[in-house]
Amino acid sequence: MGRRYFVVIDDIWDIEAWADLKLFFPHDNNGSRILLTTRLTEVAKHANSDGLIHHLGYLSKETSWKLLCEKVFQGNECPQWSIKPGIQIVENCKGVPLVIVVIAGVLAKNAWSRNLWMEIADKTGLYIVGEDNGCMETLVLSYNHLPLHLRECFLYLGGFPEDYQIQVKRLIWLWEAEGFIQEDGNKSLEDIAEGYLVDLIDRNLVIVDSRKSNGGVKACKVHDLVMELCLKKAREERFILQTTGSSNIITTPYKLVRKFISAYDPDLIPPSTQNLQSILCLRHLSFISYDFAKYMHPFVLLRVLDLLKCEVMHFPYNMELLVHLRYLAIWYSCGDFPSSICKLWNLQTLFYYTDSDRVLLPSNISDLVNLRHLSSNLFLSLPSIVKPMNLQTITGVVTNTTLIFRKYFPYVTKLKCQIESDEPNDFKSFTSLEKLCLWGSGHVKNHINIVYPATLKRLTKILWSNME
């Protein structure tokens, strides 16, 4: 009391802990300071909403190399032969100070062994996730402090390959289909899921890879070390992820399995597939289309089927058996829109890609009463449908009038459409529309007479091609 102090408090995990601690530090306006470290952005903001919050970024290669040398050689000059393997080691650490310090601790035990440096350069990952270095145990603390509603969302990320760029829009829709997102008042599931993702980013478990023009997260990644944590905890929690090459994972008939495919997998359809809940193909693999064209009956519990990377020449037989399917992404190279899709009444998200010039959606598309997101790589022709739908996102449809949108898609918030009419295009009555991407075909001349809604936040494109 009455004296100046500078105190460092390391690793605060919740707001309540800081609230209890700060009572013991007098605030006498005499220049005293407290430096607080935490992995949680919300704790930092609560501690001092007006003060400086420093977000520790990843180290550059040069800074990483300097840190490694300081820890290993303690100020002594490093030998010339250590530079090449040393640079490889710090590149493998990918700028994470904790990882660099752990590896430096291993090297310091025999700093002048050229063979050890070469071995660690080739097998850095094995030393990072080793049981004796404390690196993984430190990360586990982040997982243990995750709220229950975030744990499944986090573990799910372990199914993606290393350095895979995850599109946030798809990730959120996948989380919804898997049943990870819990309803919260009047907030939409998409807003809740986006909040979950931001929380994981604020906890430094997810990396922002790119942002949208409004500052939102467009794509994200997971660091290799965090990916190891995902897989480790997924095994412990019996949250079964089968990634390519992990067929040695023991499954049981009563435990649901999520299968991520990123390379050739001869065991795609093993004998015990009745417990498969999710199948996601993350690479261009043509062989898969033949398997799915022949087999549908083993996958009756599927909620997620993503074959968008695989061109399906023959549409899967008996697709209507997948009555639990919530997320379908498929690339069907030829033919009409398969009528069996309209029997999947639980479907929430549909990505339909095709090589055909024009595909007509069937009028009974409105039987998909739970469908909220419809996306395509071309403009699907939209006929007169039977009844209104709950679609919120429509990416890629063509029509002669905006009347059909107002009548049958009253809740749409994001719309990408092509207009083939010279009639006035009135979007004013779209009370929920926030994003609009509007195209006009070559013969349409009336591109000025467009009325926009007051809710519109982003007009991404207006294109009338072949105009004089």
pLDDT of residue 459: 81
- Yes or no: say if 399 and 379 are a contact pair by the CB < 8 Å rule: no
Please report where in the chains the tokens 């739970």 appear, as a residue.
370
Which DSSP category does 337 fall into? P
pLDDT of residue 247: 44
Residue-averaged pLDDT of the chain: 82
Residues 162, 154: Cα–Cα separation, whole Å: 15
Over residues 434-454, the pLDDT tens digits come to 888 877 655 555 555 677 888
The average pLDDT across 21-41 equals 88
List, as one string, the DSSP characters of 150-175. HHHHHHHGGGSPTT--EEHHHHHHHH
Over residues 91-121, the pLDDT tens digits come to 888 888 878 887 888 888 788 888 989 988 8
Our CA angle for 299, 305, 307, nearest 5°, is 120
Over residues 384-434, the pLDDT tens digits come to 787 889 999 998 888 766 777 777 888 899 988 887 766 666 777 788 888
The average pLDDT across 59-79 equals 89
Cα radius of gyration rounded to whole Å, the chain: 27
Residues 222, 160: Cα–Cα separation, whole Å: 9
Please give the helix or strand (H or E) that residue 127 lies within, else none.
helix 124-128
Give the residues across from 278 on adjacent strands.
258, 304
- Compare 34 and 51 and report the one with higher pLDDT: 34
Is the four-CA dihedral 349, 213, 45, 224 of positive or negative sign? positive
**Structure tokens belonging to residue 247:** 């067929």
Please report, rounded to a whole number, the percentage of residues in the chain having pLDDT higher than 90: 24
The average pLDDT across 369-373 equals 94
**Structure tokens belonging to residue 4:** 């100046």
